[in-house]
Amino acid sequence: MLINKKITTILFDLDGTLLDTNPLIIKTFEETLKHYLPDRVFTKEDIMEFIGPTLKQTFDTLYKEKTEEIIKYYREINRKLHDDMVVVYPTVREGLELLKANNYTLGVVSSKKRDMVIHGLKYTKLNHLFDLVMGHDDVTNPKPDPEPIYIAMERLNCSKENVIYVGDNSHDIEAGNNAGVVSVGVAWSLRGAQYLKQFNPDYIIEDMKDLINIIHEVNNKNGK
């Protein structure tokens, strides 16, 4: 429902949305699973299912007795490989700069630890564009629960009528829909646009700069 919307704020997922971290995440999972579960075979498709949930959610289903130890190992590998494997998706930097130039408030709401979110934004020189950065350690109930978006709105002093949430995964679309904000999926998602459509996003974008057109469309529908 896009009634009574007046968009002022755009919130983004990070991995797979702004930064292409998918090769890094897959490689980190491969190394971690090989170390802790050497007798099990995980295909790339299996590992893709781990992208989106928090590490605790994932490893609790695989080896709950050692979840915290495995998460620590995963993060060590991930940090070691990060800077050699992470890049900004095409059109993202230009789209963010355009939104900022038009005085929109921008935030990142991610399911990864906040210090690594900040590291990724600083490494890719995107950090100066954001008014808010949140990780899973800022919330009790991660996506697809709406709590992360609710907390972001509270910190930015805006309401659901003012917000777009942009992501690449089912958890992102569901979180946006559950929070009552405009939900947007990115066509460059690892699973593709068709996969995202089944979760009923309000929009799918091919280019980050499309967000300006979406904002104008939503606001014009409401006579803003």
Tell me what pLDDT residue 83 has.
Answer: 97
List the catalytic residue out of 13, 15, 20, 172.
13
Tell me what pLDDT residue 98 has.
Answer: 97
192 and 103 within one domain: yes
Decide: 11 and 131 in contact? Cβ < 8 Å.
no
Tell me what pLDDT residue 3 has.
Answer: 67
Full-model pTM: 0.92
Tell me what pLDDT residue 5 has.
Answer: 85
Tell me what pLDDT residue 223 has.
Answer: 64
Q: Which of 85, 105, 135 lies at the terminal end of a domain, its last residue?
A: 85
- Residue 4 in domain: no
101 and 80 within one domain: no
Overall domain count for the chain: 2
193 and 94 within one domain: yes
Domain that holds residue 126: 9-20+87-221
Contacts for 160 with CB less than 8 Å, ≥ 6 apart: 153, 179, 180, 181
Q: Is 168 a catalytic residue?
A: no
> Across the 224 residues of the chain, what is the mean pLDDT of every consecutive 10-residue run?
84 97 95 96 91 91 95 96 97 97 97 95 98 96 97 97 97 97 96 95 96 93 68
Tell me what pLDDT residue 52 has.
Answer: 82
181 and 139 within one domain: yes
